[in-house]
Structure 1
Amino acid sequence: MMRKTSVILLSAATGAALTLFVTQPRAVLMGSSARAATSDTYRQLNLFGDVFERVRSDYVEKPDDSKLIESAISGMLSGLDPHSSYMDAKSFRDMQVQTRGEFGGLGIEVTMEDGLIKVVSPIDDTPASKAGIMANDIITMLDDEAVQGLTLNQAVEKMRGPVNTKIKLKIIRKGQDNPIDVTLVRDNIRVRSVRARVEADDIAYIRITTFNEQTTEGLKKEVANLQSQIGDKLKGYIIDLRNNPGGLLEEAVTVSDSFLERGEIVSTRGRNAEETQRRTAHPGDLTKGKPVIVLINGGSASASEIVAGALQDHKRATLVGTRSFGKGSVQTIIPLGSGNGALRLTTARYYTPSGKSIQAKGIVPDIEVLQDVPDELKARTDTKGEASLRGHLKTNDGDEKTGSQSYVPPDAKDDKALKMADDLLHGIKSTSSAPPAAPSDKAAVDKPANNKAAN
């Protein structure tokens, strides 16, 4: 059988998802036994037809036929595993916007507070920042419509829209006696999935929050900026993947490739052997062989685990933190035609370069570091993990692991994992489990592989 696929966006859902997008239908050749089984299956669909007609004719109120069909499809997919699902047309569009990493909007990060929209921060060089919108501003009106009563998602949807269209905001600002009216023109906004800072004067700290279409370019930009700021005294890099739920398979591959010179990055294996695909690194280490520490925890899932697993298997990085989420499957997005939404279907498992599946197990860090959690948060800081999800794919060897700490202190000075990473890069502490130096020509798991994965 053949299937042509290309990478597409996917929003972070339960543990997030790695996604491929089917662009051409599957061609299937069936023998007589397969045809018989298919025929029997379609005969069983008569039962669904009978139930559907009975509901339409006898339910106490006239049902919406399209809603009945959507609910039936949703039930069929959700019964497979936690990551297979049906998306209606709106959900499909929202997914594409979120993981594309760009949209028509104003350029402000917001939250809901007391029923009103509070600005967390304006994004640099966007309509909001140019208009002087400030952190902690309270938005009370959107185009003369009160925000009170709207959900956060509804308010965000109203602020987004086609590029070059206008929207009027009424803002309450601390220290100002009267509300401020601001008219903004929407522009193309790129969501920053990569943020960085200089740590301890000589360490490059890079936080990746999700894997969207902008992630690899964002990583390259931040690495270049940090190299310029720190100069020759640069000790190494800390890549923070904690509570990163995943995203695009292609971005996980290219981010991993940024730190590797050669070797396999990941393989994906479907139900049939001919569907196995392997992705390999290309020469060129973005960090020029400097030591790398990767921070993970119970909220690091999917694409995050691909990056962590690849760098750990190649001994290119030392992993610090707690065991990752354990989502080792790949989802394919199958559009159902104009206006009909799409299927999100689990079609493969993925394996790290050493051939390990992390499904329902997660990746164990080289150095485990548990955070000091405030008493009032202790009941809410552990992520249960993939193995705790009802209907999850079982691990191949039966050794499932559940539960891992996912708390990250809001103040960096209280972050024990970050402190461990600093100490490792400064040579205050050391470990032999995974030397962070760049791999030699005899790097571990340097397997030949083809590049027929979607790209």
Structure 2
Amino acid sequence: MTMSPQKKILLVGIGVAALAGTATVRAAAQSDTYKQLDALMDVFEQVRVTYVDKVDDKTLIDGAINGMLASLDPHSNYLDQRDFASMRQTTDGEYGGLGLSVSIEDGAVKVIAPMDDTPGARAGIKPGDYITHIEGELIYGQPLNEAVDRMRGLAGSKIAITIARQGEAKPLQFSLTREVIQIRPVKWEVKNNVGIVRISTFNKQTGPATRDAVAAIDKKLGAALSGYVIDLRSNPGGLLDQAIEVSDVFLDKGEIVSQRGRAKGDIIRYHAKAGDLTHGKPIVILVDEGSASAAEIVAGALQDHRRAMVIGERSFGKGSVQTLIPLGEGTGLRITTARYFTPSGRSVQEAGIEPDVSVPQLSDALRGERPRRREADLTRHLINEVKDGTEKLVETDEKPDPRFTQTADELKKAGVLDFQLDYAVKMLGRLAPAATVQMAEAAGLSPAAAQR
């Protein structure tokens, strides 16, 4: 069919009109944005001129930036020069302080977890504690970076902090001595032919240290090795690339994690390289409410691939990825840019990693009195969208589990100081005999020699 010139002109005119309409909408939206920015500048000028005390411009601008980011989610924030340098110290693995991983919750500084072998851990500070005073001064409502900066300092200097703990009638007073916190992210030991790998954080050293630990355990036990316990309890997370590297130690192939951004096609997938350094030995992973972020990536990857059994308590539930964007002059922006998903497509945001076997920490008599605070309890946390419109229903059974009826005093008398770890080691002892015998035979040893 041939169109007349008049019809052609009409169609072109409709196209031009549509484009013009789109441009008008964009211009209107841009105009609204400029009006809002004008309002911001009006407030800025009024505060400069009329506020009761003189405030320098940098303080006002930093406050505006921090307020903007605080309206997003708990993990997006502006890093001034001091914060940027502090973050680099932490990820590099050395700084002066107390060894506490903390967050801000409704204006209060909350302890996520104390790091192993640090002043905070040795003093008995617990996950879920609230730091209310530093050197007798109330810190409620202060920015988190100020509280962190005050807790850090020269090694050998003393600091007094006050803790509020659920179940305690009075605040707890702690006098601590700062140390150079040389974060050893990985420690290992052998117990009953089981290799125990404790990963406390994910900094630049974690991947290589995990490989070294696995190699050392394999060398020490050889064919007698029953399996591995990977202890990720109270691990607040850290670097994404280190979570991928650690997962790769235990996987021979397959996806480890995917991160998905705002756009539909904005997906990055990370896969394991060939070669399981543990040679297929059984693995048990320990998690609790302090296991977050990178720790959940490792637990989720090995759980989805049926490579490990996860036991303990439901993890923290931080399923978002933060990107560090340098802004110049030693400052930066840490902003949430994606959600991460386990190999099966699960988002752990809010929900966390559910253990295959739920095992309480019976050896800690006061654990039941401490609050269990996770990502879902944080103000303005990202919502885990339910795609099929249904919600998971959890059935409850009020009957006591016969496996977990011992008291902390009974366990202490039996010499069990860490019930969850003891349970994991015994579980591997039950899972691994057949595999141990096969490995022993392949190495030319008798099954009896392998079990010694």
TM-score by length of 1: 0.66
Question: Structure 1 residue 325 and structure 2 residue 316: aligned?
Answer: yes
- The answer to which of 413-422 and 59-68 deviates more is 413-422
Cα distance in 1 for partners of 2:157, 2:71 equals 46
SS in 2 for 1:427: helix
- C-alpha distance in structure 1 between counterparts of 2:207 and 2:421, whole Å: 23
> What is residue 326 of structure 2 aligned with on the other side?
335
Counterpart CA distance in 2 for 1:355 and 1:297 is 22
Q: Is the 8 A contact 1:360 1:400 kept in 2?
A: no
Q: Which moved more, 1:282-291 or 1:36-45?
A: 36-45
**Within 2, Cα distance between the matches of 1:377 and 1:419?**
17
Aligned CA distance change for structure 1 residues 363 and 154 (closer, same or farther; 3 Å): closer
1:232 equivalent to 2:223? Answer: yes
Distance 1:395 1:401, change over 3 A: farther
Gap runs ≥5 in structure 1: 1-30, 112-119, 123-134, 137-147, 160-168, 172-185, 403-408, 431-436, 438-455
In the aligned structure 2, how far is the partner of 1:110 from the partner of 1:324?
21
Which residue matches 2:378?
Answer: 389
Q: Classify the secondary structure of the residue corresponding to 2:286.
A: strand
Say which SS state the counterpart of residue 299 (structure 1) adopts. Answer: coil
Q: CA deviation at 1:210?
A: 0.4
User: By how many angstroms is 1:416 displaced?
Assistant: 2.5
1:157 counterpart = 2:153: yes
Identity of aligned residues (%): 46
**1:418 pairs with 2:408:** no
Q: Does 1:283 align with 2:279?
A: no
Shift of 1:286: 1.3
Q: Name the structure 2 match of 1:296.
A: 287
Contact 1:387/1:400 (8 A) holds in 2 = no
Partner of 1:53: 45
What letter corresponds to residue 362 of structure 1 in structure 2? G
Judging changes above 3 Å, is the alpha-carbon distance between structure 1 residues 368 and 289 closer, same or farther for their aligned structure 2 residues? Answer: same
Distance 1:401 1:93 in 2: 45
Q: Distance in 2 between matches of 1:280 and 1:336?
A: 31
The alignment's C-alpha RMSD in Å is 3.4
Q: For structure 2, list consecutive stretches of 5 or more residues without a partner in the other structure.
A: 1-21, 101-115, 124-134, 138-146, 159-178, 395-407, 439-452
Distance 1:260 1:40 in 2: 52
Q: TM-score, length-normalised on structure 2?
A: 0.67
Count of residues paired in the alignment: 335
Match of 2:240? 249
Q: Which residue of 2 aligns with 1:370?
A: 360
Tell me, in whole angstroms, the C-alpha distance in 2 between the residues paired with 1:59 and 1:170. 38
Q: How does 1:165-204 map to 2 (within 5 A)?
A: 191-200=183-192, 202-204=193-195
Which amino acid in structure 2 is aligned with residue 294 of structure 1? Answer: I
Shift of 1:337: 0.7
Task: Mark the CA change 1:400 to 1:193 in structure 2 (over 3 Å): closer, same or farther.
Answer: farther
Partner of 2:348: 358
Deviations 1:33-63 (A, max 9, x none): 5554234212210000000000001111111
Per the TM alignment, residue 157 of structure 1 is displaced from its structure 2 partner at its CA by 3.1
Question: Could you say if the C-alpha distance between residues 218 and 190 of structure 1 is closer, same or farther in structure 2, counting changes exceeding 3 Å?
Answer: farther
Q: Is 2:200–2:232's contact at 8 Å kept on the other side of the alignment?
A: yes
Alignment counterpart, residue 267 of structure 1, candidates 222, 237, 258: 258
Question: Of 67, 70, 89, which aligns to 1:97?
Answer: 89
Higher relative contact order (CA 8 A, sep 6+): 1
SS in 1 for 2:154: helix
What amino acid is the match of 1:388? Answer: D
Structure with bigger helix share is: 2
